[in-house]
Amino acid sequence: MVVLLLVLAALLAFLQWRLWFGHGGAGEVQELSSQVERQARDNGGLRQRNDEVAAEVEDLKSGEAAVEERARSELGMIKPGETFYRVVEPASGSTSAEPATAETAP
């Protein structure tokens, strides 16, 4: 009877060891769960980016407004009859904000 009890205790110890530390054990399951969560977050971001690109492609296929906007911003194109004005900001160090004053001699 003692031998059977020792064999069962050894079997229980072996199974517990495999459950916690062996291949497919609790630690490995926890690591895989964290990888799945991380991948799900990444997939959500990529899915959102894909939706944005698909919407832009559809807009480019169906409407001329998007093509015109892109031609104006990226290629600098203007329509016939339009006048192009370039506004140049003055350099911050080259001009002073104070008006010049005339000095008088005594």
Element (H, E) at 73: helix 64-75
pLDDT at 98: 54
* d(C-alpha 104, C-alpha 50), whole Å: 71
* d(C-alpha 42, C-alpha 12), whole Å: 41
pTM, 2 dp = 0.40
For 102, left (φ over 0), alpha (ψ -120 to 50), or beta?
beta
Contact 31, 24 (CB under 8 A): no
Share the mean pLDDT of the chain. 82
pLDDT above 60 for 44? yes
Could you tell me the pLDDT band of residue 56, with boundaries at 50, 70 and 90?
confident
